[in-house]
């Protein structure tokens, strides 16, 4: 299910971010309007010839005030840890430099495929410059030009060929979930508390090294879960792990691999701007979402506290109106034993399929009670609705003119669908299509 990861490494100024943006193309706009995530621009989804993959620009992960050489060392290590395929970028303009050789040395240490790409080959005459780079020891270099968009297709051909074959993995039907949130909200405490409550730990998930810290467990009602590790929760010790961008990157990666994301808030600290970034990404990515308010033991409460907190969350996270909210404590384990069950329910809703006949009854009923809008005397006509996808549930509504489907009417239809079927915890998508 998880898409392969490509990481771009290389010394500063070879053109990593230029090439990254070129390959990510328009797809990067998926996360465009989420504050904080866009500024990072170090992680993007892309696709080449039907092969989906995710891409990391390691150059965007700055490791504080460390000296230059530490920075590139750390970035290369991140690539080795996180990626399935590494693109080692150098520049035809400057030729082979000491820093390139330094990066090469670190990359010798991995058995993951490393593809050498020579950037800034802006015209055919410059192609002869690439031969020097054989000395780096990564075989035939691929000439490209990030700014002119030359050769990136050839590079992606080579990259896609190097992806590990995906056919051999057995179908994993466990419910995959993760805890996401800013530092100190209690993610690792929650992980440990959950594992304490559910003693039947199957095993650490086999497979690639980067997934080795996921944990599988079976809940009381015999459901199998995979808890996806985020932000190096149980793998502390590397310098780069404390950096902001790396932790955002890990969170985004975990969200991509999850069916259900638990957005963790800190009852003691309240809601901060940073809480919204990854939550927004999880929503955009169409994952199931549970809002977990942790440290509920640590605040003074009266009979209204929970309601008030809930109202604040609803106001701050309006786009997550479908997400259930739970108030827990990792410390006392209060209400934690119900969490796996809730995650499972959200997961079911996330995969729910509605038969067209039943769906159309609901939609037509809704229209009968609340007539479709008109614009300049022209009325929206809804002919038929059908579910075209799950995870998240996605519905196509055939209409006479999509322009006539106002936001508020789409919202009304969504609410009617939600009232008729259990979609708690999952976003649902409505797509209007024209049919004469
Ligand atoms: P990074 O530090 O490796 O991420 O490099 P950048 O992407 O920021 O690019 C560094 C500089 O190289 C910028 O001035 C880019 O415009 C330039 N650059 C990037 N790709 C090319 C290219 O294909 N040809 C030329 N001539 N310049 C490029
Ligand atoms: P992470 O950075 O999100 O993984 O957060 P940690 O799990 O490391 O927790 C951060 C701090 O919050 C630690 O000092 C924990 O002991 C504390 N903490 C975590 N969960 C709870 C809780 O439910 N109640 C209280 N009072 N403290 C908690």
Query: Which has the higher per-residue pLDDT, 199 or 119?
Result: 119
Query: Which are the contacts of 132, defined by CB distance < 8 A and separation ≥ 6?
Result: 95, 96
- Banded model confidence at residue 242, pLDDT cuts 50, 70, 90: low
CB atoms near residue 49 (< 10 Å): 8
d(CA 351, CA 387): 11
CATH number of 16's domain: 3.40.50.300
Average pLDDT over residues 272-287: 88
Q: Residue 243 corresponds to which tokens in the numbers above?
A: 């950096």
Question: If we measure between CA atoms, which residue out of 256, 253, 208 comes closest to residue 233?
Answer: 253
Cα–Cα distance, 361 to 376 (Å, whole number):
28
- Residues 157, 214 share a domain: no
Segment 180-187 shows an average pLDDT of: 89
Q: Is the pLDDT of residue 343 over 70?
A: yes
Mutate to test the pocket of ligand 2, among 179, 181, 187, 189 (most ligand atoms within 8 A of CB): 189
Q: What percent of the chain has pLDDT over 90?
A: 61
Residue 310's pLDDT band (boundaries 50, 70, 90)?
Answer: very high
pLDDT on residue 413: 97
Of residues 349 and 221, more confidence is placed in 349
Domain assignment present for 169: no
94 close to ligand 1 (CB < 6 Angstrom):
no
Asked whether the predicted pLDDT for residue 315 surpasses 90, the reply is yes
Q: Which domain holds residue 133?
A: 5-162
Please work out whether the CB of residue 241 comes within 6 Å of at least one atom of ligand 1.
Answer: no
The DSSP code for 141 is P
- Total domains in the chain come to 3
Which pLDDT belongs to residue 200? 61
Tell which one of 8, 10, 12, 18 to mutate to probe ligand 1, the residue whose CB is within 8 A of the most ligand atoms. Answer: 18
* Residue 26 counted as domain residue: yes
76 is in an annotated binding site: no
Q: Got the DSSP string for 205-264?
A: --SSGGGTT-EEEE-TT--EEEEEP-TTTT----GGGGSHHHHHHHHHHHHHH-SEEEEE
Position 80 in a domain:
yes
* Predicted local distance difference test score (pLDDT) of residue 6: 95
What ipTM is given for this predicted complex?
A: 0.77
**Where is the domain boundary, 295, 314, 349?**
349
Long-range contacts at 60-69 (CB < 8 A, ≥ 24 apart): 60/17, 60/245, 61/240, 61/243, 61/245, 61/246, 61/249, 62/243, 62/245, 63/239, 63/240, 63/243, 64/243, 66/239, 68/12, 68/99, 69/99, 69/102
Question: 109-113, 197-201, 307-311: which range is least confident on average?
Answer: 197-201
Does residue 27 lie in a domain region?
yes
For helices 152-162 and 16-24, what crossing angle results, to 10°? 80
The model's pLDDT over 146-172, given as tens digits with 9 standing for 90+, comes to: 999 899 999 999 999 999 876 555 677
Q: What is the pLDDT of residue 161?
A: 94
- 218, β-bridge pairs: 224
Residue 296's nearest CA partner among 189, 389, 139 is 189
Q: What is the C-alpha separation between 46 and 433, in angstroms, rounded?
A: 25
The helix/strand/coil state of 293 is: strand
State whether 130 and 186 are in the same domain. Answer: no
Closest by Cα among 343, 421, 346, 349 to 385: 421
154 and 225 within one domain: no
- Predicted confidence at residue 152, as pLDDT, reads 94
Q: Which range (45-59, 81-95, 259-273) has the least confidence?
A: 45-59
Give the number of whichever ligand sits closest to the CA of residue 145: 1
Least confident interval from 18-22, 198-202, 225-229, 396-400: 198-202
Mean of pLDDT values over 378-384? 94
In this structure, is residue 276 part of a structural domain? Answer: yes
Name the average pLDDT for the chain: 87
Q: What pLDDT score does 27 carry?
A: 43
15 CA from centroid of ligand 1 (Å): 4
| Residue 384, H or E segment | strand 382-389
pLDDT at 36: 41
pLDDT of 222-239, one tens digit each? 899 999 877 554 455 666
Whether residue 283 is found in the same domain as residue 406: no
CA–CA gap between residue 313 and residue 318 (Å, rounded): 8
- Other Cβ atoms closer than 10 A to 270: 12
């Amino acid at each position: 299910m998880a898409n392969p990861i490509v990481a771009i490494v290389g010394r500063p100024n070879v053109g990593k971010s230029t090439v990254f943006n070129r390959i990510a193309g328009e797809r990067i706009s998926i996360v465009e309007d989420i504050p904080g995530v866009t500024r990072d621009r170090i992680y993007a989804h892309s696709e080449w010839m039907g092969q989906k993959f995710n891409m990391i620009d390691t150059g965007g992960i700055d490791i504080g005030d460390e000296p230059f050489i530490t920075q590139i060392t750390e970035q290369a290590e991140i690539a080795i840890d996180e990626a399935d395929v590494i693109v080692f970028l150098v520049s035809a303009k400057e030729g082979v430099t000491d820093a390139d050789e330094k990066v090469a040395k670190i990359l010798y240490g991995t058995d993951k495929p490393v593809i050498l790409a020579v950037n800034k080959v802006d015209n055919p005459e410059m192609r002869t410059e690439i031969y020097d780079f054989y000395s780096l020891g990564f075989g035939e270099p691929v000439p490209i030009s990030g700014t002119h968009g030359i050769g990136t297709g050839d590079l992606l051909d080579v990259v896609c060929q190097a992806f590990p074959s995906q056919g051999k993995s057995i179908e994993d039907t466990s419910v995959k979930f993760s805890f996401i949130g800013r530092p100190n909200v209690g993610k690792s405490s929650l992980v440990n508390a959950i594992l304490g409550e559910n003693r039947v730990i199957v095993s650490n998930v086999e497979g690639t090294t980067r997934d080795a810290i996921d944990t599988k467990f079976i809940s009381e009602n015999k459901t199998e879960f995979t808890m996806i590790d985020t932000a190096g929760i149980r793998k502390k010790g590397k310098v780069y792990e404390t950096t902001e961008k790396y932790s955002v990157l890990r969170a985004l990666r975990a969200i991509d691999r999850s069916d259900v994301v638990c957005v963790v808030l800190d009852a003691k600290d309240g809601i901060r701007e940073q809480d919204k970034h990854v939550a927004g990404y999880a929503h955009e990515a169409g994952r199931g979402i549970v809002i977990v308010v942790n440290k509920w033991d640590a605040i003074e409460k009266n009979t209204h506290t929970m309601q008030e907190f809930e109202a604040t969350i609803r106001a701050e996270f309006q786009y997550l109106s479908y997400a259930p909210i739970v108030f827990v404590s990792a410390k006392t384990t209060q209400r934690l034993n119900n969490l796996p069950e809730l995650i499972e329910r959200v997961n079911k809703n996330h995969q729910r399929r509605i038969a067209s006949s039943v769906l159309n009854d609901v939609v037509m009923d809704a229209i009968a009670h609340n007539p479709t809008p008109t614009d300049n005397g022209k009325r929206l006509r809804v002919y038929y609705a059908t579910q075209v996808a799950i995870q998240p549930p996605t519905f196509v509504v055939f209409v006479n003119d999509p322009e006539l489907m106002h936001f508020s009417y789409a919202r009304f239809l969504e609410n009617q669908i939600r009232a008729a079927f259990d979609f708690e915890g999952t976003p649902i998508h409505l797509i209007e299509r024209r049919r004469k």
